Amino acid sequence: MLDTLILSRIQFAANISFHILFPAITIALGWFLFYFKLRFNLSGDPIWMRAYRFWVKVFALTFAIGVVTGITMSFQFGTNWPGYMETVGNIAGPLLGYEVLTAFFLEATFLGIMLFGINRVPAKIHTLATFIVALGTSISAFWILSLNSWMHTPAGYEMIDGVAHVTSWLEVIFNPSFPYRFSHMMVASGLTASFLIAGISAYRILRGDAKRAPKLTLKTALTVACVLGPLQMIIGDMHGLNTLEHQPQKVAAMEGVWQTEKNVPLLLFAIPDEAAKKNHFELKIPNMASLILTHKIDGEIKGLNEFEGNHPPVAPVFWGFRIMVGLGLLMIFVAWFSRIKLWKSEHLSPWNLKVLFAMSFSGWVATLAGWYVTEIGRQPELVTGILTVKDAATDIAPANVGLSLSLYLIVYAILMVAYLHTVFLMARGAVEIEEVSYEEVRKSNMQHENSDEVNHV
Amino acid sequence: MFSAETLAVIFVGLMGLSIFLYAILDGYDLGVGILLPLENQQQSDNMIASIGPFWDANETWLVLAIGVLLIAFPSAHSFILKELYIPVAVLLIALILRGVAFDFRMKAAFSHRPTWDKAFKVGSLLAALSQGYMLGMYIMGFEYSWQSTAFSLLSAVGVAAAYSYIGACWLVMKSEGELQKKATKWARKAGRFSFLGVLAVSVVNPLINASVYERWFSLPNMILLLPMPAFCFVLFLIVDRLLKRMPFQDDVSCWIPFVGAIMIFFLCFNGLAFSFFPDIVPGKITIWQAAAAPASLSFILWGALVVIPCILAYTCYSYRVFWGKTKELKYY
């Protein structure tokens, strides 16, 4: 029989994993929409409005699932992890509160105007609403990543009678790992959205969509991916160095280093064996891990032996890291390869399109793998040096948690099928619609000239 | 700045405001969901269109309410949510179902629309019922007995009726023609059920809680408080009479039932708040025992004082943008 602790952990992991998939798209997709709207305003070319109208529907659907699955999170702190709020509530509470106050209301209210208000507000206000929705999603990410980072690298607090009290809010919010984690997540969202846009656009072209819109969005998304991919590598490297400084046991697990040593090789493949405290079937590049982590060939890396009984489970962290990095490299390669092809010939070959289509949701896999590395990597602690996961757990009956967990899993499975099904259905629907007509161009030119008035008609 | 005692009162006020706004705002859109006529596609579309631009922001008040409870009264948050574990899980699943059904019904294959409509209706109903059940358990001080279960079930039905009532009044204001006539009938029926519900809760609550009885039926409180239930009754009556004669020429006063329902909600909410203040968990924990550290509360208070007026302002703006009768809900 599974106990309450493990069931609560599975439930939290399931909820947060399912939830993050949707913000991972919408954070950046919001900015894409703003860009499309801006290009339309500047050029008056209705093709940008076409792109906007298709992707705003995907945005709305994704956003809705993100919102409703996010609500469950705010309840779970109380239902399943009472010790968390009792110990660090003075810090977690206000940060979550600011997220609700400065982000949730903003995005939710202006989303209504953005989705349904285009004929009811002046064009400029609609563009502003699009901007505010994008800004809202980013502000939301700011607060939640600040709190998450604080759990990894707490700062600006003191412990009084076992409860954390704040000494400096600036140090709490901008704690040591926050800048890296925040930029890493923002760029991850950028890549996730780029590959989704590229993938769905490729899918439309493969289905015989000869219109300008999918070509345009494909090109835009690939360009963004080409820039963000390498940028993510640099940020990831900086984030890794920061982790090495604050959570060396996590890095040791990521690299599969059992003994503290110099000239550590980079393991491309290995099967970590926690019982024997070593790896099997190592495939390695000599000195490479030392070089990456310390920027010196003979740099010393602390091994797991220094954290006996207090380090995370090695295999999931080790493998999560390899999946994330491997996928990241593949994304960079595919993005650059496809973009250069597109630059040279204006068309992509069918198999190239198929690859992009297959990678539509590659950002999801990489993002999840990355989060598993960082969150499993902080085990057995919940808040570094303050609270262990075990001490935060609830004492309610396992049957209750089992019931709620089963309900969530069923609903999530249905939602995932429905979501994927619907996104591709919308893409197929977009294949059928007509190319931008002469009438549409004329109307949009008129709008462009005296944009504020005509929009009401 | 403020003392710990004052901060606790301010935050319980803030939480009260969020809960009250949630009950009205998500109340009407859950009510619209409960009333959804599955057999009439056109009317379903119009009804959902009337709440389309708002439901997401409406639901955010729940997140704020639970957030304030979490921030300001962490031990009460843990206590209440642990006691209500299963109804909370049901509520969350119901809100998920309803929220996504809203989008899927328009975007998924046309043949699936009736299924998503059903999910929308069931989700709305379940959410209302579970909230009512939780309210009942809360009033009963989380006691486990058959009386308390029976009372909570009654409260569940009462809240579902009240949401249908305010939802129907919303539709009377936002719709026209056949749908408006239908909404008028729903509003009258739901109004009567709500009245019975309010009556039942008002009678049972003081009977089972000695301290509540003491508060309401001692002099001079009794005389001072009498206008509250009396006014509530009069409001129900006025709205019902008005609905009977609706619609009027040019649809004048179509907004009165909705405002009347809001006032009824306001009175009931105050009645409950008066019954329990300053307890955050009735008979067990007061707001001062549960309050978080003053430094943390001050930090969030300054932000809230700046941000909440902005939220109210742009919420009003959004209602102004979508003012008037709902036509068709369309992207672009």
Please answer yes or no on whether A74 and B332 come within 8 Å at the CB atom.
no
Does the pLDDT value for residue B331 go beyond 60?
no
For residue B79, give Cα distances in angstroms to A165, A321, B75, B242.
22, 38, 6, 44
Q: What is the mean pLDDT of residues B206-212?
A: 80
Query: B248: how many CB neighbours lie within 10 A of its CB?
Result: 10
| Residue A113 near chain B (CB below 8 Å) | yes
Cis, bond preceding B220 (omega within 30 deg of 0) = yes
Residue B85: closest C-alpha in chain A:
A79
Greater confidence (A449 vs B22) lies with B22
pLDDT at position A438 = 66
* Binding-face residues of A in 35-64 toward B, CB within 8 A: 53, 56-57, 60-61, 64
DSSP state of A301: B
Please answer yes or no on whether A98 and B303 come within 8 Å at the CB atom.
yes
Closest to A408 (Cα-Cα) out of B296, B151, B93, B228: B93
Please answer yes or no on whether A68 and B315 come within 8 Å at the CB atom.
no
Please answer yes or no on whether B78 and A78 come within 8 Å at the CB atom.
yes
Q: What is the mean pLDDT of residues B286-312?
A: 87
Provide the shortest C-alpha distance from residue B307 to chain A (in Å). Answer: 6
Please answer yes or no on whether A90 and B307 come within 8 Å at the CB atom.
no
Greatest Cα pair distance in chain A: 74
Please answer yes or no on whether A109 and B311 come within 8 Å at the CB atom.
yes
Name the β-bridge partners of A164.
Answer: A159
Q: What is the mean pLDDT of residues B137-144?
A: 86
| Residue A91 near chain B (CB below 8 Å) | yes
pLDDT tier at A417 (50, 70, 90 boundaries)? very high
pLDDT at position B163 = 95
Q: What is the mean pLDDT of residues A229-237?
A: 94
Name the β-bridge partners of B95.
Answer: none
Contact B198, B268 (CB under 8 A): yes
Q: What is the pLDDT of residues A99-142, one digit of tens each?
A: 989 998 999 899 989 988 888 888 899 999 999 999 999 999 99
Helices (H), A247-388: 248-255, 288-294, 314-345, 350-358, 362-376
Both ends of chain B: CA-CA distance in Å? 49
Does the pLDDT value for residue A2 go beyond 80?
no
Both ends of chain A: CA-CA distance in Å? 65
Provide the shortest C-alpha distance from residue A218 to chain B (in Å). Answer: 22
Contact A416, A368 (CB under 8 A): no
Does the pLDDT value for residue A149 go beyond 90?
yes
CB-defined contacts A:B, below 8 A: 204
> Which ipTM score applies to this complex?
0.87
pLDDT at position A290 = 87
Cα dihedral across residues A313, A316, A321, A324: positive or negative: negative
**For residues A153 and A377, what is the distance between their CA atoms, to the nearest angstrom?**
13
Contact A381, A388 (CB under 8 A): yes
**For residues B137 and B134, what is the distance between their CA atoms, to the nearest angstrom?**
5
Phi, psi of B26, rounded to the nearest 5 degrees: -70, -25
Mean pLDDT check: name the lowest of A155-169, A253-267, B182-196, B317-331: B317-331
**For residues B130 and B150, what is the distance between their CA atoms, to the nearest angstrom?**
14
pLDDT at position B106 = 81
**Which of B78, B96, B330 has its CB closest to that of A86?**
B78
Task: Quote the mean pLDDT of chain B.
Answer: 87
Please answer yes or no on whether B71 and A102 come within 8 Å at the CB atom.
no
Contact A53, B32 (CB under 8 A): no
Q: Which one of B75, B116, B299 makes the best mutation probe of the A interface by having the most chain A beta carbons within 10 Å?
A: B299
Measured between beta carbons, the chain A residues lying within 8 angstroms of B64 are 100-101, 104-105
| Residue A122 near chain B (CB below 8 Å) | no
Provide the shortest C-alpha distance from residue B141 to chain A (in Å). Answer: 18
Structure tokens at B67: 């957030």
Q: What is the pLDDT of residues A26-77, one digit of tens each?
A: 999 999 999 999 999 998 888 899 899 999 999 999 999 998 888 888 788 7
Measured between beta carbons, the chain A residues lying within 8 angstroms of B291 are none
pLDDT at position A443 = 67
Residue A406: closest C-alpha in chain B:
B89
| Axis crossing angle, helix A46-80 with helix A82-99, rounded to the nearest 10 | 150
Rg of chain A, C-alpha, whole Å: 24
Q: A220 Cβ partners below 8 Å, 6+ apart?
A: A32, A35, A197
Measured between beta carbons, the chain A residues lying within 8 angstroms of B304 are 97, 101
Cis, bond preceding A380 (omega within 30 deg of 0) = yes
Q: A177-191, A305-319, B6-20: which has the highest mean pLDDT? A: A177-191
Pairing of β A381-383 and β A278-285? unpaired
pLDDT at position A451 = 44
Q: What is the mean pLDDT of residues B196-221?
A: 82
Q: A187-201, A312-326, A401-415, A432-446: which has the highest mean pLDDT? A: A187-201
Does the pLDDT value for residue A152 go beyond 50?
yes
Helix (H) or strand (E) holding A280: strand A278-285
Provide the shortest C-alpha distance from residue B138 to chain A (in Å). Answer: 16
Does the pLDDT value for residue A266 go beyond 50?
yes
Cα dihedral across residues A391, A397, A399, A404: positive or negative: negative
Query: Which segments of chain B are extended strands (E)?
Result: 279-281, 285-286
Provide the shortest C-alpha distance from residue A239 to chain B (in Å). Answer: 29
Please answer yes or no on whether B82 and A396 come within 8 Å at the CB atom.
yes
Please answer yes or no on whether B78 and A404 come within 8 Å at the CB atom.
no
Residue B69: closest C-alpha in chain A:
A93
Please answer yes or no on whether B59 and A100 come within 8 Å at the CB atom.
no
pLDDT at position A453 = 40
Measured between beta carbons, the chain B residues lying within 8 angstroms of A404 are 85-86, 89
pLDDT at position B330 = 57
| % residues pLDDT > 90 (chain B) | 27
Q: What is the pLDDT of residues A384-410, one digit of tens each?
A: 888 988 888 888 888 888 888 999 999
**Which of B69, B96, B292 has its CB closest to that of A69?**
B96
Measured between beta carbons, the chain A residues lying within 8 angstroms of B68 are 97
Please answer yes or no on whether B331 and A106 come within 8 Å at the CB atom.
no
Task: Quote the mean pLDDT of chain A.
Answer: 89
Closest to A141 (Cα-Cα) out of A197, A95, A176: A95
**For residues A217 and A209, what is the distance between their CA atoms, to the nearest angstrom?**
13
Instruction: State the pTM of this model.
Output: 0.90
Residue A82: closest C-alpha in chain B:
B78
Provide the shortest C-alpha distance from residue B240 to chain A (in Å). Answer: 32
Please answer yes or no on whether B304 and A79 come within 8 Å at the CB atom.
no
Measured between beta carbons, the chain A residues lying within 8 angstroms of B72 are 93
Q: B225 Cβ partners below 8 Å, 6+ apart?
A: B216, B274
**Which of B53, B71, B109 has its CB closest to that of A113?**
B53
**Which of B108, B109, B295 has its CB closest to that of A166?**
B295
Structure tokens at A138: 């980013």
Residue B301: closest C-alpha in chain A:
A94
Does the pLDDT value for residue B126 go beyond 70?
yes
pLDDT at position A356 = 95
